[in-house]
Amino acid sequence: MFQNLDVHVSNGKLLQLAGPNGAGKTTLLRLLAGLNRDYDGDLHWQGEDLHKVYADYARQRLYLGHLAAIKRALTPIENLRWLMSPWMTSETDTPVLEDDLWEALEQVNLAGYEETSCQQLSAGQQRRVGLARLAIVPTPLWILDEPFTALDVAGVRWLEEQIQRQVARNGAVVITSHHALQNIPTLERLELGVLAGLEE
């Protein structure tokens, strides 16, 4: 259980949560994403109580858990249509287009696999289907739980570039990862179990 924890994420910042397994990194990410309400304390989004503005917050943050979070019976392009459906409506200011989905899959080296069942893809390829959203989703906040899992060297490099781009365009990223993140001058680290103070 966290005690006396004060986390502030600003535009143009990358916050990396660090700590040993079991320190509570995933739990904290789920709290920040608004997916877990079992806590004492306050969460705010742009100065407002998170739960009062949750619908707006959910549209402005992208949460990627430590699993691929795709439907294995669907193809990569079908998964992206499903995952991106909230941003593909005319109600949004800059709706995501069908062409954006195909381009995103090409960026993550899945060209030629767009209409292959995800059940036939490797773990790394399945992971990249979910990560393809980072190339297109128009949200100012990314919350990423161990996103480098199962990626090859090219996948790691692509993901690093996406994180750098998000920060450079004044977005914010909160991430848990054992991967050494570099070349991001606004990187901040929060050591759980040390600074946060875990209750025994």
> Which pLDDT does position 195 carry in this prediction?
45
> Which pLDDT does position 111 carry in this prediction?
96
Please tell me the distance from the alpha carbon of residue 101 to that of residue 106, in angstroms, as a whole number. 9
Please tell me the distance from the alpha carbon of residue 133 to that of residue 84, in angstroms, as a whole number. 7
Please tell me the distance from the alpha carbon of residue 12 to that of residue 61, in angstroms, as a whole number. 14
Fold of 14-191: Rossmann fold (3.40.50)
Residue linked to tokens 């292959």: 116
Q: Which of 11, 43, 134 is nearest to 84 (CA)?
A: 134
Tokens of 168: 């450079």
Tokens of 63: 């949460």
Residue linked to tokens 């062409």: 99
Tokens of 36: 């877990």
> Which pLDDT does position 90 carry in this prediction?
58
Low-confidence ranges of the chain (pLDDT < 70): 1-3, 90-93, 194-200
> Which pLDDT does position 91 carry in this prediction?
66
The DSSP element (H or E) to which 128 belongs, if any, is helix 123-131
Please tell me the distance from the alpha carbon of residue 102 to that of residue 45, in angstroms, as a whole number. 32
> Which pLDDT does position 18 carry in this prediction?
84
Q: If you ran DSSP here, which 8-state letter would residue 8 be given?
A: -
pTM of the model: 0.87
Q: Are 137 and 96 in contact (CB under 8 A)?
A: yes
Contacts (Cβ under 8 Å, ≥6 apart) of 63 = 29, 33, 35, 143, 145
